[in-house]
Structure 1
Amino acid sequence: MSRRNYLIKRVVQALFSLWIIATILFFLFRMGLPDPTAALITEGLNAEQRALIRAQFGLEDPLWKQYMLFLTNALQGEFGTSFSYRAPVAEIVWERLGNTMILMVAAITLAYAIGVPLGAWLSWRRGSLADTLGIFVGLMFRSAPMFWTGMIAILIFGVSFALFPTSGMRTLPYDATGFFDKILTLDFLWHAILPVLVVALYYLGSPLLIMRNTMLEVYGEDFIEMARAKGLPERDILYKHAARNALLPVVTQLAVTIGLAAGGQVVVEVVFSWPGLGREILNAVRTSDFPLAQASFLIMAAFVITLNLLVDFLYSTLDPRVSFR
């Protein structure tokens, strides 16, 4: 199969998966919440007023008509009005998703930027004290729940030493004219350091250990012996030859990490009061904000599917031996 055909096939599969998720979300919320506008209806409203509220949100229409309207609007990026905020859901979701992406991308980038070269170096020092300590630290942070690590970090660096803020992403009050105006400040960086480090330490163990173990297998390959026979420096053999061929399992784990991080952000966002999409999903479910919860789950799913699709296409770049079959 050519690269182009493989690309088309994977995109079609991703779109089909997204349609399945959207369909499940649509029926799940309507089956789980017989009256999703219950949060808006008070005891003082009569039957006519309650019916008017339901009609305003299109809940009096037949289910098939609601489903078609939902899919049509979703394709256009329109998800209705939030019950809690009384504002368009799309504006809220995209803003919160941006905050979540900043935290997730920064943390995963930091974890893999440290874990991959460190894992390669530990394989070179196999059996040494540094190797033992590296494995211990990686396993320790990978085993510790993020909410526990986050609370410890807040207690030590936020409360005891007062080095970093303990909540939020900016010092209140602040007036940002746009998304980049909100994040391109030292105050934002000051607030982001602790949550980014907590998430990065949690995911550090995966690339570190996988890279180390894969490198140990690659060291036995013939091309490594050939490189040594040519008299190449050990550092060049380690990072230019062995590491490149050991990256494929790490990329596979990256796809898994992205999916886990997208869902696991809820814990960190709640602990640090980070205004991200994960925390917004929790609040929407808690307050029965039907449109906001539905759109948040769908956007999060689309985000994860897209990133996993991009990771799949990195395979052939990292290892030309991979064929699209």
Structure 2
Amino acid sequence: MSSRRSYLIRRVLHGFMALFIIATVLFFLFRLGLPDPTAALITEGLNPAEREQIRASFGLDQPIWEQYFIYLANIVQGDFGYSFHYRAPVADIIWERLGNTMILMLPAIILAYGIGAPLGAWLSWRRGSRIDTSGIFVGLMFRSAPMFWTGMIAILFFGIGLGWLPTSGMRTLPYEASSFLDKIFTLDFLHHLILPALVVALYYLGSPLLIMRNTMLEVYGEDFIEMARAKGLPERRILYAHAARNALLPVVTQLAVTIGLAAGGQVVVEVVFSWPGLGREILNSVRTSDFPLAQASFLVMAAFVVTLNLLVDILYTMLDPRVSFK
């Protein structure tokens, strides 16, 4: 128990250190790499005193090192600053956009991995057959196809050609939602979700399918598989109850990384389908030099990846008892 506790403490400390480094890099990257964000707010008619007053209202008149320590202190308190573009707290904008992104990405990822992992295990059982070749081809095709291309084809076929599904947005305009739950728990929202979620699911389908298939082929050569066959166990039981459990570790790792990156959204999908998510907001914040919003968005995405990697390390010990706490 003590080794497990010390291992978890080390992993948590490593996670905080990684987030500290990422936060520092983001701070200097956006401040030194982007134009002056107040340039869009300053008109030719303003005198120098009024221009400096605008800069001071956003704290940009202070030395860079002082801005840095204020930035770190605010992050610890959960304060991401004030958006230059929206003139609103960054935290409010991020949580709203993040919610929109996750209700798009999570169903798509669950669908992709829920189908891809079992299908990959089944293809490994049919290795060398036409079904195996076809499955690999389909997985590689959707994984290699640019998502904007797949999205536009889906829009042209299902949206414009057949007219079955809407092609943009989360809801049919105009609409008024009293709350976030009221916005998503409607048939109209589900109607808008189907097409972008399907495009994302098809893109991610190839990863669990191919990883699971290749790992299963390696597991088939293990001694415990031969022992199970010697006992006369049915091949299907050996496939899913014995081989698949040991082949899940790489898939779980990839799933955690995928969910972590999904926090930032798929910019291409959100732009193509006009989905008001965090990915599209990151793109807009970089365009407008709104670095409080941009750096906070990237930091939230990094926090998702670090947290999920920690959870995966814990889950590893449950899936494979051979994993040691070192």
Normalised-by-shorter TM-score class: over 0.9
- Write the letter of the residue equivalent to 1:111: A
- Structure 2 partner of 1:192: 193
- SS of the residue corresponding to residue 266 of structure 2 reads helix
Partner in structure 2 of residue 67 of structure 1:
68
In the alignment, is residue 249 of structure 1 matched against residue 239 of structure 2?
A: no
Whether 1:122 and 2:118 are equivalent positions in the alignment is no
Letter of the 1:74 counterpart: I
User: Which residue does 1:323 correspond to in 2?
Assistant: 324
Contact 2:4 2:325 in 1 (8 A): yes
Contact 2:36 2:289 in 1 (8 A): no
TM-score (norm 1): 0.95
Once the 2 structures are TM-superposed, how far is the Cα of residue 263 of structure 1 from its aligned partner? Answer: 5.3
Contact 1:111 1:203 survives alignment (8 Å): yes
**Where does residue 181 of structure 2 map in the other structure?**
180
Partner in structure 1 of residue 81 of structure 2:
80
Which segment is superposed worse, 262-271 or 83-92? 262-271
* Aligned AA (1:114): I
> Structure 1 pair 7/274, CA: closer, same or farther in 2 (3 Å)?
same
Find out whether 1:157 has 2:158 as its counterpart. yes
Alignment partner, residue 304 of structure 2: 303
Pairing 1:212–2:213 present:
yes
* Corresponding residue number in structure 1 for 2:269: 268
Q: Which moved more, 1:34-43 or 1:145-154?
A: 34-43
Deviations 1:296-324, CA, capped at 9 Å, x for gaps:
22222222222222222211111111112
1:220-249: CA deviation from partner (whole Å, max 9, x where unpaired): 222112222222222111111111011112
Instruction: Report the alpha carbon displacement of residue 211 of structure 1 after superposing the two structures with TM.
Output: 0.8
Aligned-partner Cα distance in 1 for 2:250–2:4: 20
8 A Cα contact 1:119 1:211, kept in partner: yes
CA–CA distance in structure 2, aligned partners of residues 190 and 127 of structure 1? 39
Q: Deviations over 1:97-146 (max 9, x none)?
A: 11112222222111110011001111111122211111110011011011
1:32 Cα offset (Å): 2.1
Task: State the partner residue of 1:277.
Answer: 278
Percent identity (aligned)? 80
1:78 touches 1:90 (CA, 8 Å); kept in 2?
yes
Map of 1:223 onto structure 2 = 224
Read off the aligned partner of 1:40 and give its amino acid letter. L
Matches within 5 A, 1:279-294: 279-294=280-295
Number of aligned residues:
325
- Equivalent position of 1:104 in the other structure: 105
Q: Give, in whole Å, the separation in 1 of the partners of 2:274 and 2:232.
A: 55
Q: Deviations over 1:144-170 (max 9, x none)?
A: 011111111111111101111111111
Distance 1:120 1:34, change over 3 A: closer
Q: SS where residue 274 of structure 1 aligns?
A: coil
Q: What letter matches 2:299 in structure 1?
A: L
1:240 aligns with 2:246: no
Indicate how the Cα distance of structure 1 residues 150 and 34 shifts in structure 2: closer, same or farther if over 3 A, else same.
Answer: closer
Secondary structure at the aligned position of 1:246 is classed as helix
Per-residue CA deviations over 1:167-211 (Å, capped at 9, x if unaligned) read 111111222222222112211111111111111111111111111
- Contact preservation (8 Å) 1:30, 1:36: no
Query: 1:39 touches 1:289 (CA, 8 Å); kept in 2?
Result: no
Q: Which runs of 5+ in 2 are unaligned?
A: none
User: In structure 2, how many angstroms separate the alpha carbons of the residues matched to 1:252 and 1:208?
Assistant: 14
Shift, 1:83, TM fit: 2.1
The SS at the match of 1:170 is coil
Residue type of the alignment partner of 1:108: I
With the length of structure 2 as denominator, give the TM-score of the two structures.
0.95
Deviation at 1:257, TM superposition (A): 3.0
Measure the CA separation in 2 of the matches of 1:202 and 1:132. 18
Q: How many angstroms does 1:63 deviate by?
A: 2.0
Q: 1:215 corresponds to which letter in structure 2? A: M
| Letter of the structure 2 residue corresponding to residue 160 of structure 1 | G
> Shift of residue 215 of structure 1?
1.1
